[in-house]
Structures are given as C-alpha cells and as structure tokens.
C-alpha cells in the first residue's frame, strides 16, 4: 500500500533511514517530520529526507498523518504515548522503532484511545553513528525487523505495517513483546554491555595507551559497540532490566567457569581445560 502522509518523530539515523526507504520505494505521497531538536529537524529538511515539518506537535494541533513512526529513545516513546496521543488523528496507525517492547506496549495499550492503533516494532539494524546525515535507505535491507503480534494485536493493521516493512527490504519476524525483550537481551543488549565493559577494562589500566597501541583488529571488532550513546542505552537498560540481568547471569556463569578452571590449572597432561575448551568451535 501507499501511505498518503507519514510523520516520522525523531529525525535521526533510524527515523531518517525509514523516511528515505519510504521515499526510495515510493511508499508515501508525503513524509513529514518532527524532532525536539530543531537542528535535527533542519538537517532532515536540508537533506530532503522529509518533505515538511509536522507542526501539530509544536502547536498542540492534531497531525493529519495516516502513519506515525516513533523513532526516539524508549523513554521518549513512552512519554509521547502517555502525553501526546490526542495529537494523532482517529484512525491513524502508530508504530515505533524502540529497542524494548514490553513497557512500550503496556503504555500504548493503557493510554492510547482505541481509535488510534499501535503496532510495536523494532528494526534490528543501526550503527554507532548518529544523525540524519548518516541515514541510509538501505539500512533495513535484509535485516530482521520485529513486529509485536499477540492476542491484542489488530491483525488487519499488522498486515499493513508488515507489508510496508517488507517493501523497504526488511525481514519481518513476529514475536510477543516478552519474547522480543528476552531475545534482544541475549543477542543485542548483552553484546553491547560486554563491548563497553571490555573497553572500560582497558581504559582503566595504568598502561592503557600502550595496550591500545598493540591491540589488533580483534580488539577493535570487540569494542566497536562501545562507541554507542549512553542516552539511548540508558533507556534500554532501564526498560529491559530484568531480562538483561538474566542474560548477564548466563554469561557470568560461563566466565566464572573459565576463571575457576584457569585458577586451578596445573601443567599435568591430565588437566586439559575441558570446560574452557567448550567455548571454542573446534579443538
């Protein structure tokens, strides 16, 4: 389907990439934008990522868009759903790109009037780079894009959003909010914390500069995520804290097993580091 008008709230990397993908695939007649940052909004206009500003969100009016895409940090999404639902017209579809889903869905279903239908979403794509200047229409190509599907989901609206997401090249995966948050804690949030902790470990050493000078590509690969913004990750950690803590427990058990085995290691041939060896793909 082709949307008459879409508003993207949050004109950064994700929101800008979604807008560009809609344009490149001719999926919207007009694309409006809004951002709390006037600089971000001006940049999106200058780069022609959006066609116009949706002034409803500054004037207190009602947006005329048929699809509203929330591409903001999770707590800003939650705040918007609590406070600004009246600024979206009846019959409009709202979806989000937040990295956690349980709390977002709870707030949407509690605070949005039934005339405004919410579909929770999460594109599993991105970069440590930020801003509309780094937006790419192909950001979602072949990437998983999770849409929330449970007993309360409007199947007709879900199908419309799913069609759009597939047309911008993403691979839609349907999950409940709880399944999403557990999966992301293990495959996304845990790697981020591991990368950041590793970078912090090196930086805290008195000879950190020397260590970095001799570090190879493996270290750079492992710590690339450590460049990510705390502004984004603060909200992720706060809204998925239970699942992240469980994922950390699993990893800590593995690391504890390695540490214990290495601490007890002796040079005898009978001690072959059997536990540690299970972490590797081949002998």
At 165-216, the pLDDT tens digits run: 999 999 999 999 999 999 999 999 999 999 999 999 999 999 999 999 999 9
Has residue 275 been placed in a domain?
no
Has residue 19 been placed in a domain?
yes
How much is the average pLDDT of 79-103?
A: 96
- CATH number of the domain enclosing 155: 3.40.50.720
Q: Give the per-residue pLDDT at 105.
A: 97
Clarify whether residues 75 and 209 are in a common domain: no
Residue 274 pLDDT > 90: no
Residues paired with 252 in a beta bridge: none
Edge-to-edge strand ranges of the sheet holding 121-123: 121-123, 144-148, 171-175
- CATH number of the domain enclosing 210: 1.10.3660.10
Has residue 271 been placed in a domain?
no
Clarify whether residues 185 and 160 are in a common domain: no
Confidence band for 282, pLDDT divided at 50, 70 and 90? confident
Which single residue is written with the structure tokens 């005339």? 115
Question: Each residue of 158-168: pLDDT tens digit?
Answer: 999 999 999 99
Has residue 221 been placed in a domain?
yes
How many whole angstroms separate alpha carbon 98 and alpha carbon 122?
6
Clarify whether residues 122 and 191 are in a common domain: no
Clarify whether residues 29 and 166 are in a common domain: yes
Confidence band for 271, pLDDT divided at 50, 70 and 90? low
Which is it for strands 121-123 and 144-148: parallel, antiparallel or unpaired?
antiparallel
Instruction: Among 175, 208, 225, identify where a domain stops.
Output: 175
Residue 239's nearest CA partner among 121, 108, 104, 82 is: 104
Do residues 196 and 226 lie in contact, with contact meaning Cβ atoms separated by under 8 Å? yes
Has residue 280 been placed in a domain?
no
How much is the average pLDDT of 260-266?
A: 83
% pLDDT > 90, the chain = 83
Clarify whether residues 50 and 76 are in a common domain: yes
How many whole angstroms separate alpha carbon 60 and alpha carbon 71?
20
Q: Give the per-residue pLDDT at 283.
A: 64
Has residue 274 been placed in a domain?
no
Residue 8 pLDDT > 70: yes
Has residue 278 been placed in a domain?
no
Clarify whether residues 201 and 162 are in a common domain: no
The mean pLDDT of the chain is 94
CA dihedral 151, 156, 161, 166 (to 10 degrees): 100
Residue 270 pLDDT > 60: no
Confidence band for 128, pLDDT divided at 50, 70 and 90? low
Instruction: Among 150, 175, 200, identify where a domain stops.
Output: 175
Clarify whether residues 157 and 198 are in a common domain: no
Structural domain boundaries, residue 98: 3-175
Has residue 282 been placed in a domain?
no
Clarify whether residues 74 and 164 are in a common domain: yes
Clarify whether residues 144 and 87 are in a common domain: yes
Confidence band for 96, pLDDT divided at 50, 70 and 90? very high
Clarify whether residues 57 and 194 are in a common domain: no
Clarify whether residues 150 and 126 are in a common domain: yes
The count of structural domains within the chain is 2
Clarify whether residues 168 and 190 are in a common domain: no
% pLDDT > 70, the chain = 97
pTM, whole model, 2 decimals?
0.90
Instruction: Among 133, 159, 175, identify where a domain stops.
Output: 175
Question: Each residue of 211-242: pLDDT tens digit?
Answer: 999 999 999 999 999 988 898 899 999 999 99
């Amino acid at each position: 389907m082709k949307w008459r008008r879409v508003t993207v709230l949050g004109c950064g990397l994700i929101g800008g990439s979604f807008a560009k993908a809609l344009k490149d695939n001719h999926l919207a007649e007009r694309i409006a934008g809004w951002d709390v940052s006037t600089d971000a909004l001006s940049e999106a206009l200058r780069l022609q990522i959006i066609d116009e500003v949706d002034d409803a969100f500054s004037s207190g009016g009602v947006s005329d868009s048929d699809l509203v895409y929330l591409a903001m940090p999770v707590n800003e999404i939650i705040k918007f759903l609590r406070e600004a639902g009246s600024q979206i017209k009846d019959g409009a579809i709202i979806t989000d790109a937040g990295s956690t889903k349980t709390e977002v869905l709870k707030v949407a279903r509690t605070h949005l009037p039934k005339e405004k239908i919410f579909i929770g979403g999460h594109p599993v794509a991105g970069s440590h780079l930020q801003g509309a200047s780094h937006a790419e229409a192909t950001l979602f190509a072949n990437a998983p894009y999770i849409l929330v599907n449970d007993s309360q989901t409007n199947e007709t609206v879900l199908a419309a959003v799913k069609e759009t997401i597939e047309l911008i090249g993403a691979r839609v995966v349907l999950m409940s909010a709880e399944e999403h948050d557990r999966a992301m804690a293990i495959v996304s949030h845990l790697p981020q914390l591991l990368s950041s902790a590793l970078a912090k470990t090196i930086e805290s050493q008195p000879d950190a500069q020397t260590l970095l000078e001799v570090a190879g590509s493996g270290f750079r690969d492992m710590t690339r995520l450590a460049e990510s913004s705390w502004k984004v990750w603060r909200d992720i950690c706060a809204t998925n804290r239970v699942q992240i803590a469980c994922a950390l427990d699993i990893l800590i058990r593995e690391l504890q097993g390695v540490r214990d085995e290495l601490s007890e290691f002796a040079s005898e041939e009978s001690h072959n580091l059997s536990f540690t060896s299970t972490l590797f793909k081949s002998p």
